[in-house]
Structures are given as structure tokens and as C-alpha cells.
A and B are shown apart, each in its own frame.
Chain A
Amino acid sequence: MGALAVLTACSSPGSTPDETSSNPTTEPTVAEGAPSCGTDPVTLKAYFETGFPMAGELTTEFTKQFPNVTFDTREDQFAVLTQNAPRVLADDPPDLMRLPQMSELATDGLLLNLDSYAEAFGWDQWPASQLEQMRVDDAGRRGDGPLYAMGLNFSMTGVFYNKELAAQIGMTEAPATLAELDGYLQAAKDAGLTPVAQFNGGATGGFAFPLQALMASYGDPAEISAWIYQQPGATIDTPSNLKAAEHLQSWVTSGYFAEDVNSLDYAMMMSRFIGGESVFIFDGDWESGNLDTQMPGNVGFFLMPPVDEGGSFGAMSAPLTYGISANAANPDCAAFFLDWVATNEQARTIAVQIGGSHPMGPADAFMPDVDPNTVTAQTLVAGAAIGEQDGAMDFIANATGSIYAKGWTPNLQKLMAGEQDPAGLLAAVQAEYETEIGG
């Protein structure tokens, strides 16, 4: 033991002396007037997610409008971003970075507090729900506290369907109640089609999509948000959530899901849906643009219907979060870029046409024209409906850093395989949640 202590030079990990000199929680000092990129050449260091072209398109357009600003962009898969986030933010601080679950990054002092920018640019005048998910308090709870990130747009989930196949089973318009949806799922099965080939394999429990939507139909989305934001005493194991989980289980036992969903990853789900091998999928509007290209005119979208007509419903809706490192070299310019994305007409057009989702910003801001026959148009309409209902929730997989990998995914896979019942599923996830928050 003594020899080991000598080998590792006795200092405890993570306590290098030079780290104490930088105090990352200090707020940036904003110069007189709103911050900008100035006129001198600036190179913004960016760290984006591979496979989503919107961020790249935005930077190109930004450079076109502000030629003194160029971008040094690095891209990685989301899983890699998740692993690297703390170390990259600490050692190689980017000016702009696509963020994974951010509460720990914020409390660890790795992200810049954006409150002063929010004030300078007037972000605090926007609908408060847009920024709520990116606020983190001292204890690492989201939903309140200083702003630590900004969205490039905000996405929303629901049900996509193949119009041609839907016509075959007599579905001409979106179902208005859950019972109607059940009827269509049964009709698809009776017609020999695969009702839903939802991804649920590997480390990706995609059943969380329909489950959370069902939770919002049976219960109050605000309660689910409270759980995601780690409010004291919040639990996922409630009677209404149990009904939602039982409803999901009834779909499993009725055979509405493809038999091999526990081996399907996200990409396989997309290729089956695009290939006409699945009538419905539960997915988000970040695919709208893609689906409009791949299956033009053949895709419809609706939100998970309420239990009774006119009842409550909800959707997962989350900003595509980008943050600024606490040690970034050009925080003012990065913040200016984030503001430009939400307010510039060109940028908002890119957010809708390439990103497929609703741009951030004031409620009455410019919206580009969208062909009403596209699924993009339908998701934007649905987004407005969710806004009116106040039915937006963050994703239940984002409640803690590893609730998805440790709680939801294994238990949803077990539910599919008949090795877990709805009550057990919720109890197991709640137990994991409490371990992680307590520990």
C-alpha cells in the first residue's frame, strides 16, 4: 500500500493546484451594450454531434453573414460526446458544444452561466418553458436556477405513420382517443402488417418514447417534469403512470410490436419504417426533414391521443442544447451566435427546414413557409398544440445521468420479453433513481 502511495505521488485525484486558480462559477462580464463578435477575426471552437447537419449549416450561414468569424468544428457521435463532455470542457474548452445531460456539468463548474447574456439579449422575454430545462440550481436540479445552455431549436416527439399503409387499414385521419389508436394497431396486425417496429435493443430502450407519451395521456405532464427535475419527493411510481405502463404492456401482449424489437437499434427502426415495414413508429420531429426527403408525401404525424376525446395529452419536448465552456476563449461571440440562431430569419429557416423542429425565440418571431403536405408542417402544428396544452416535458431518460442505461432500458426490455410487469418496472426505475440522487 505504501509503495502504491509513492507511485501515485500521494495527491488525491482531481486536485491539481492550478485548478484552484480558475473559478469557473464567476459570471462573464458583459461589456456595454449587447455582446457581439466584433470585427477582428475570430475562430470559434465548436464540438458538434455527428449525423445532424443543422449545426454545420448554421455555422456556414453565420460565416457568410459575419465573415470575420470562422469555425473550427469537431464532430462525434452522441455517445462519445457524453463520455468526453467533462474532460473536453475542462481540458480543451470549446466555445460551443452540443451537450448531453447537463446537470452535473453545470454543478461541476464546467459550463458558463449564461444569465447575463440572457438579460443582454432579452432571452428572458421568451416563453419561460423554452429555457426551463436548461436551468440548473446549486444542487444539480434542473428547471430552476441560472441558465447554463441554449437551444438551437426544440424538438418534440409523437407518432409517425406511413400514410399508404394507414390507408390499407382504413385510417384516414389521426386517432382522437387511445381506444381508436388501439383499434388501428389491431387492424394493422389483422392485415398482416407490423404495427410498430420500435427500437428497443442494445443500450437504447426506445419503449420509453411511447411509455412517456402514455403517461401524459393518463396523468399530468407537470408531475412527470417534477420527477425529471428531481423535485423533492417526486416519484415515477404513481397510479396514473402504472395505467400507462399497463397500456404499453397490453400492446406487447397483443403483439403490436415487431417480435425482434429487443434487437432493433434506432437506425434499424428508421430503415424499416422508411422501407414500409412498420405502420407506426414513436419518434421525434428531428426526423421530419429526413422523412420528407425519403418518403415525400407519405408520412403523417400525430401526438399520442388522450384517453378520452378532449382529455389531456403531452409530448416530450426538449431543446437541442448547446453550451459554452466555463473556460471558453470567445464566450461573447458564442453567445451572440446562439442569439442569432434564434432571431435571424435565415437561421430560423435553417432550424425548420434542415432541423425539422421549431426554432427557439419569442412566440411571435418569424416563421418560414412550410409546404402543408409535409410532415414538417404537421409537427410544427402539433408543437403549437402542445404549447397551448402546456404539455411539454423533458425526456424521462434525462432525469439523471444514467437512469436511461440503468433504469429504463433494461426494465423496458424485460417488459417486452415478459420478464417484468408494469408495477415492477416503475418500482425498479424509482429505486434506481433514488440510489443515484441519494448517492
Chain B
Amino acid sequence: MAQRLTGLVSGRREGTSPVLGSPESRRRALRARRLRRGGLALTLVAPAALTYFLFVVRPIAQTVQYSFYDWNGVTPSTWVGLANYVALFHDPELSGSIVNAFELIIFFSFVPVILGLFTANTIRGFATSRLAVVARTVLFLPQIIPLVAAGIMWSWQMSTNGLVNQVFRLIGLDGIARAWLGDFDTALPAVGVIGAWVLFGLCMLLLLAGMTKIDPGLYEAARIDGAGPLREFVSITLPSLRQEVVVCVTVTVIAALASFDIVYISTQGGPGNSTLVPGLEIYYLAFFQREVGQASALAVALMALVLAVVLPLQWLNREGDS
């Protein structure tokens, strides 16, 4: 048996060795090996790829297809070419919703990331105590509350006699108490606050996890060089966390641009379209106006917009690695 094996091996070696020098045969052998390996890899990847194709690629392709039609979702459709995309640029309501989405980035993205950085840094200061566990858990809790529940809870708190106004009245600020979600000037920021509250915990936890991998020696060295807490933060913590910050910003920017749940629950785009966002507009177009084509065009445009904002962030991250 052993002999036959060695014989086979040596035989194969003998078979290939004389032609090792020929580039043609080497290429053929390489290709065969690659095919064999590729076949196995393909088999392993197939289920995931199929799922991905069925539930991600196909719906996106269909959305793109629908966007070239005038279709109400039921009866036969008419091909309209790029008309749905042209309409996107002419309707002030559609462009207004995109402006609102960008305004939400301030609340959904900047506020949670900046607050998250400082909170994580503070928690890191007493990382070993039990208080750190409690703080981490409490601050992360909003993340596990369903967005719909968060929206309902906050719309109660921000109502005329809700908790927010009760607090303002308690400290003598009766003048600024108002129906936050029903006021043209405050509705969008109020929705933003709900988003910030939800996303803050996620950012804080991600950044805190990133901090644990920073070599403590760096801090020690800095301290020996006479660096204060601020210097440590700016020179060590912040640069080491670039990747985590980019992840946080990416996730939260997508949440802002593609927001739907919180707005739908708390204001439904009102008052007077002041909180209308593209996600909500797509929903209204598809299910109330029954313009599936126009809704699909806006969805494709929104996807392109999200990519246009998020991709440069990724390059920023990659540049940092090199």
C-alpha cells in the first residue's frame, strides 16, 4: 500500500517533472489546480451567493427596472424611460426631503459620535470598576429598544404636557415649552434628538471596544513625557480610533439618510413636510399615491446618494491603513 502510494506519487512526479520546464504545461497544471480549488470554493459559497442574489441583488435589479416604468403596482405598466428620474429634479418636495435627510446627519451622526468619544474616554478612565459595567449597560440600552417603541415613547415625552416640557417648566423655562414635534422650527431637530438617543449607545460601545486594543504602554509613555488627559486623548486615543470612528460615522450617516421608522412614528413627515425624508416619501409614493415607478426611481437615487456619501468615508479609512 505504502509502496503503491509512493509509487503513485513518484510516478506523478516523474510524469510532471520532464515537462516542468515547458511554460505551456505549467500553465495547464496551474489552471487545473485552480479549477479544482475553485469548484470546491464555489460549492461552499453557493448557498450564501444564491441567498444574496435572491434577496439582495434581484430586488435591487427589480427596483431599477421598475424605476423606468409608470406603474401602479397592479395593472400593466408603461415604459417611460428616464421620466421618473427627471421628475426627481423638478419636484421641490422631493429635493426638500433630501435636504432634511442631510440635516438629520448632524443629529444622527455627529452628536452620537462626538458624545460617544467623550463618554467612552470617560468610562475608560475607570474601566476596571463595576461602575463602568453599569454605565456601559445603561448607555447602550436605547440601542436594544425597537425604533418604533423609541419613537412612541419620545413623542409622548415631547408632547405639550410630556416629560420634556415638565422639566422645562420645573426649572422656570415655561417660555420655551412647546409641542416639539408639532412646531415647524423644532420638529426636525426633535426627530434628530430621538435618533441621537438611539444611536449614541452603539457608537459609545464601538469606540469603547476600540479603546481596549490601544497599548497601555503608549499612555504610560505619554504620561512620562508629561502629557495631560487632553493631550493623551488628542494624540493617542483619537488617532488609534480612526477605524472605529469611520465605522460609526458610516453606520449613522446611513441611518440618517435612509431614516424612516422614527420619522414615521413621531411626525409622519409633518408638520407641513418639515420632517419629510426620502424614506418616507418613497413609502408615500409607493403605497398611497401608487406610483411604484416614481417611488423606485427615488429609491435608486437614494441608494446612489448614500453610496456617494459613504464611499469616500471608506477611502479615508483605507488611506489610513496604508
Contact = CB atoms under 8 A, between A and B. Distances in A.
A4 B62 CA distance: 8
Residue with the highest number of chain B CB atoms closer than 10 Å, among A19, A82, A262, A264: A262
Given A8-B61, A12-B79, A202-B270, A86 B284 contact: no
Contact of B71 (A13, A268, A401): A13
A416 B179 CA distance: 13
Nearest to A202: B268
B201 interface: no
Interface of B is mostly: loop
A309 to B, nearest CB: 36
Interface in A96-123: 104, 108-110
B184 interface: yes
Interface of A is mostly: helix
B74 A260 contact: no
B76 A4 contact: no
A410 interface: yes
B137 interface: no
B61 A7 contact: yes
A23 B75 CA distance: 12
Interface in A255-285: 259-264, 268
B268 A410 contact: no
B182 A260 contact: yes
Contacts of A365: none
Interface string B26-63: 00000000000000000000000000000001100110
B288 A413 contact: no
Contacts of A268: 159
A201 interface: yes
A413 to B, nearest CB: 4
A108 B75 contact: yes
Nearest to A5: B65
A409 B72 contact: no
Contact of A260 (B61, B178, B289): B178
Contacts of A232: none
Contacts of B64: 4
B272 A261 contact: no
Contacts of B72: 14, 86, 104, 108
A138 interface: no
Contacts of B77: 12-15
Interface string B65-95: 1100101111111010000000000000100
B102 interface: no
Contact size range, B: 35 or more
A83 interface: yes
A109 B290 CA distance: 15
A420 B271 CA distance: 12
A417 interface: yes
Contacts of B183: 262-263, 417
B76 A15 contact: yes
B126 interface: no
A414 B71 contact: no
A201 B271 contact: yes
Nearest to A12: B77
A190 interface: no
A260 B187 CA distance: 12
B270 A201 contact: yes
B76 A14 contact: yes
A341 B31 CA distance: 78
Interface residues of A, number: 44
A109 B72 CA distance: 13
A413 B270 contact: yes
B65 A263 contact: no
A262 B271 CA distance: 6
A13 B290 CA distance: 14
Contact of B74 (A108, A405, A416): A108
B69 A402 contact: no
B163 to A, nearest CB: 15
B73 A86 contact: yes
Interface in B172-220: 178-184
Interface string A344-363: 00000000000000000000
A419 interface: yes
A90 interface: yes
A262 B69 contact: no
A419 B159 contact: no
B269 interface: yes
A411 interface: yes
B253 interface: no
B65 A405 contact: no
B160 interface: yes
A406 B270 CA distance: 11
A401 B288 contact: yes
Contacts of B121: none
Nearest to B296: A13
B61 A4 contact: yes
Contacts of B66: 13
B273 interface: yes
Contacts of A264: 182
Interface string A6-18: 0110001111000
B292 interface: yes
Contacts of B272: 410-411, 413-414, 417, 419-420
Contacts of B69: 12-13
B287 interface: yes
B267 interface: yes
Contacts of B179: 201, 259-260, 262-263
Interface in B271-290: 271-273, 284, 287-290
Contacts of A406: 93, 284, 289
Interface in A178-227: 200-204
Contact of B289 (A14, A401, A420): A401
A262 B159 CA distance: 11
5 contacts: A13-B77, A86-B290, A202-B267, A405-B288, A413-B270
Interface of A: 4-5, 7-8, 12-15, 19, 82-83, 86-87, 90, 104, 108-110, 200-204, 259-264, 268, 401-402, 405-406, 409-411, 413-414, 416-417, 419-420, 436
Given A259-B179, A406-B284, A417-B183, 20 more contacts: A5-B65, A7-B57, A7-B61, A8-B58, A12-B69, A13-B292, A14-B73, A14-B75, A14-B77, A83-B288, A87-B73, A200-B271, A260-B159, A261-B182, A262-B184, A410-B271, A414-B184, A416-B271, A419-B184, A420-B272
